[in-house]
Amino acid sequence: MITARALSSPETAVLASALLLLELAARPAAGVEVYFEQTTAARVAGAPSGPGVLSRVWYAGRRMRLEPGGAAGGPALILRLDRGKAYRLDPERKVAVELALERLRARAQMDLALAGELMGGAEAPARTTELPGDKVVAGYPCRGYRIAAGAASMDVYVSEAVPLGVDAFADFLEWSGAGRALGGMLAEMRHLRGFPLQTRSRIEVMGQVQETLSTVTRVGLGPFPPGLFEPPAGWRLEPEAPGEGP
């Protein structure tokens, strides 16, 4: 969808992982809490465009936590749509920075608008076809589908064994502006049943083919420990500095 970027901050990381969240397609059980790890790699004209990215995501309704990389105890982003708040955790200084949620939202909407413009997702009619054969991803059996719209296509492998889907992210989708940006592509995703464990997006821009491969490598279910979506006890809480951004 969008060319993968290095995760220079947790805010950037959550925008990258949001692409996976926007592709989930089955209604989950009430109150489900899901943890997953995802790797994302991009290629331009058949060559890697940068190092692969690993993201770890904890999802519990209107609460989300995202950490870039595979090591625990690093920086993190906490998104609390239920409170209208977001925090960036800085473990080196033991500081939780309260972010300007509207600025973070504007960044998400800008990135998604660019994705929609490149893909033609908001205007071009989209269609879905089933791919032959099954695939096992992260230990789960998956069925494959290809969604095509305009100059873009996406191969999606979904598993119904994971009880999470796009309807769980209704508040997040509205907050991020995904529905307006991705239009027909998102509408087609909603028809799929299951959690997308692998997606391969392909788009041709000015004669150059760009591909992004996102693969979930691990899935776990909650409940999560208390305090996961809160700034740690004893940490200093600071407001976002003027001019500071993702």
Q: Does residue 21 carry a pLDDT above 60?
A: no
Q: pLDDT category, 22, cuts 50, 70, 90?
A: very low
Query: Which numeric CATH code is attached to 10-239?
Result: 2.50.20.10
- So what's the pLDDT on residue 111? 64
Q: Which residue has the higher pLDDT, 208 or 31?
A: 208
- So what's the pLDDT on residue 246? 47
What is the tens place of the pLDDT at every residue in 180-196? 656 677 777 778 887 78
- So what's the pLDDT on residue 177? 57
Q: Which residue has the higher pLDDT, 173 or 74?
A: 74
Q: Does residue 245 carry a pLDDT above 70?
A: no
Domain chopping of the chain, boundaries: 10-239
Which is nearest to 182 in space by CA: 115, 231, 134, 132?
Answer: 115
Q: Does residue 27 carry a pLDDT above 70?
A: no
Q: pLDDT category, 131, cuts 50, 70, 90?
A: very high
Q: pLDDT category, 233, cuts 50, 70, 90?
A: very high
- So what's the pLDDT on residue 178? 57
Highest mean pLDDT: which range of 109-113, 164-168, 228-232: 228-232
Model's pTM, two decimal places?
0.73
- So what's the pLDDT on residue 89? 94
